[in-house]
């Protein structure tokens, strides 16, 4: 299927911009994947998370049914305080609205220069190693999400349970589909060109007008779980 130039441009902006996610890629996922094999917890059910930004509060609903591993990773990092005082290091609004991206743990450290924002991952304090989660995509009618590979089949893309609608929250990553760690982005408009390529795990349910005000350099002051957020080891 031919892909139009604007779609290639937008995907390229997210993957390869110097301000985008350029952390080292994870090792290829082998063998069993998903919640059963994950070293990070999975989300059972739903969670409501408040993101207190320097522009105001944003609330996001996380879907532990369609994206248990990705949403569980996010809730775990929220509870660890990983996102507190981090910087929204990449905001793309021109030539058309695209994404607000943040969540790099190292951006909370005043000693880290701004030109390195967007290159960091979450380092597990127990192992000292970066935590990565595989690409997680759920389709309607399938009991379990698919892991580790992008979806490009138009018929399958039409069956996605979570899409890049305006306000969708998804994981940023490098070119390796399995390199998502802590950085996330919020879609400023429907981004169908990213569907099946990046893991959407929830959506903004309050404060989308605040997201529209966020500018590059603004801060995520504090992230808090308001409701739900039950984390489990293994399959929920």
Residue 39, pLDDT score: 87
Closest to 216 (Cα-Cα) out of 104, 120, 57: 104
Where residue 85 falls (left for φ over 0; alpha for ψ -120 to 50; beta otherwise) is left
Q: 15, 175 in Cβ contact below 8 A?
A: yes
pLDDT digits (tens, 9 = 90+) for 33-54: 799 989 899 999 999 999 999 9
Which residues fall within 8 angstroms of residue 10, CB to CB, at 6 or more apart?
A: 98, 191, 193, 194
C-alpha to C-alpha distance for 200 and 138, rounded to whole angstroms: 9
Residue 1: C-alpha distances to residues 4, 107, 152, 180 (Å): 10, 39, 9, 27
CA–chain centroid gap for 230, Å, is 19
Judged against a pLDDT cut of 70, whether residue 10 lies above it is answered with: no
Residue 224: CATH number of its domain: 2.40.100.10
Instruction: Report the relative pairing of strands 99-102 and 136-137 from DSSP bridges.
Output: unpaired
Mean pLDDT over each residue of the chain, to the nearest integer: 89
Closest to 227 (Cα-Cα) out of 59, 69, 40: 59
C-alpha to C-alpha distance for 195 and 137, rounded to whole angstroms: 9
The pTM is what? 0.88
Count how many domains the chain has.
Answer: 1
Please give the share of the chain, as a percent, with pLDDT higher than 90: 82
Boundaries of domain holding 179: 5-232
pLDDT digits (tens, 9 = 90+) for 135-161: 999 999 999 999 999 999 999 999 999
């Amino acid at each position: 299927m031919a892909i139009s130039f604007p779609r290639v441009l937008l995907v390229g902006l997210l993957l390869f911009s110097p301000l985008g996610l350029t952390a080292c890629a994870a090792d290829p996922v082998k063998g069993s994947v998903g919640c059963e094999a994950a070293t990070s917890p999975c989300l059972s059910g739903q969670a409501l998370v408040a993101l207190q930004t320097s522009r105001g509060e944003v609330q996001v609903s996380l879907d532990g049914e369609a994206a248990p591993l990705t949403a569980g990773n996010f809730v775990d990092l929220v509870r660890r305080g990983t996102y507190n005082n981090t910087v929204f290091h990449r905001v793309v609004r021109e030539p058309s609205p695209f994404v607000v991206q943040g969540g790099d743990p190292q951006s909370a450290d005043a000693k880290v220069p701004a030109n390195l924002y967007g290159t960091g991952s979450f380092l597990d304090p127990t192992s000292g190693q970066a935590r990565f989660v595989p690409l997680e995509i759920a389709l309607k009618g399938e009991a379990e999400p698919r892991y580790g590979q992008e979806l490009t089949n138009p018929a399958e893309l039409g069956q996605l349970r979570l899409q890049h609608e305006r306000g969708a929250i998804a994981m940023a990553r490098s070119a390796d589909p399995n390199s998502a760690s802590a950085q996330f982005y919020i879609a400023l408009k429907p981004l169908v060109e990213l569907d099946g390529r990046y893991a959407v795990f929830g959506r903004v349910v309050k404060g989308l007008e605040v997201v529209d005000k966020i500018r590059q350099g603004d801060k995520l002051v504090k992230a808090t779980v308001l409701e739900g957020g039950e984390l489990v080891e293994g399959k929920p």
